[in-house]
Chains A and B, each alone.
Chain A
Amino acid sequence: GENVEQHPSTLSVQEGDSAVIKCTYSDSASNYFPWYKQELGKRPQLIIDIRSNVGEKKDQRIAVTLNKTAKHFSLHITETQPEDSAVYFCAASKWGTGGFKTIFGAGTRLFVKA
């Protein structure tokens, strides 16, 4: 079946370093790739997204890249700060009957050490 694999499951970095989280997807019809951040005890929140007609997108310290041929997409966080500590979920979406079909990755728990 369709799935999204996310790596690593846990990532620990020193404050100021960069963090990279990688995802692969299986459904070549996927055309929208959001990333969500979930802090402890809180709801997942959309932080950045990318569409299949774009290879890279940047928003301040966060960037996403997409390689459609390889079905890979990645989240890059530069100059990490302790408040970046959270669980990050990638997802791959496509239009299905009546709405989006979205498959989530298993999540990456990011620890940023001060």
Chain B
Amino acid sequence: ETGVTQTPRHLVMGMTNKKSLKCEQHLGHNAMYWYKQSAKKPLELMFVYSLEERVENNSVPSRFSPECPNSSHLFLHLHTLQPEDSALYLCASSRRGDSNYGYTFGSGTRLTVV
């Protein structure tokens, strides 16, 4: 484990279901991110939270709803998804103001929408 934990690792949901993805980090980082990784596509930034405030929403459909209750936890609430939303959802964190700007990624949640 790198310090960023995502649950669940795998999720199969119907288009009418509501589910949530969870991300947790205990690295002392203060910025957290949701990325979508689809086959043969670049990593797509979905949301950025810095100091628990959403600072970027990259034109993501409203069926994806993020929540950041504190600097260690990040959620992605899902409802009425479409089959094309099936992908690997990666959470990442970084430390704002740190000289090392790199991300630490979680292992991801493999989401399948049926």
Residues on A facing B (Cβ under 8 Å): 4, 32, 34, 36, 42-46, 49, 89, 93, 96-107
How many residues does chain B have at the interface if contact means C-beta atoms less than 8 Å apart?
27
Interface of A is mostly: strand
Please pick, from A34, A49, A99, A101, the residue contacting B96 in the complex, using a CB distance under 8 A: A99
| Interchain CB contact under 8 A, A106 and B41 | yes
Contact assessment for B48 and A43 in the assembled complex, using a CB-CB cutoff below 8 Å: no
Residue of B nearest to A44 (CB): B105
Of the candidates B2, B43, B49, B94, the one whose C-beta lies within 8 Å of that of A89 is B43
A98 and B83 CA atoms in complex are apart in Å by 33
Bound CA span A49–B42, Å: 19
Interface residue stretch chosen among B11-19, B50-58, B71-79? B50-58
Contacts A99-B48, A101-B56; A46 near B102 (Cβ below 8 A): yes
CB-CB < 8 A to B48: which residues of A? Answer: 98-99, 101
Q: Give the distance to chain B from A51, nearest Cβ to Cβ, in Å.
A: 8
Contact of A49 among B2, B45, B53, B102 (CB under 8 A): B102
- Alpha-carbon distance between A42 and B108 when the two chains are bound, in angstroms: 8
In the bound complex, residues from chain B placing their C-beta under 8 Å from that of A34 are: 101-103
Decide if B86 is an interface residue (CB 8 Å cutoff).
Answer: no
> For residue A33, which residue of chain B has the nearest CB?
B101
Q: Contact: B94 with A100, CB < 8 Å?
A: yes
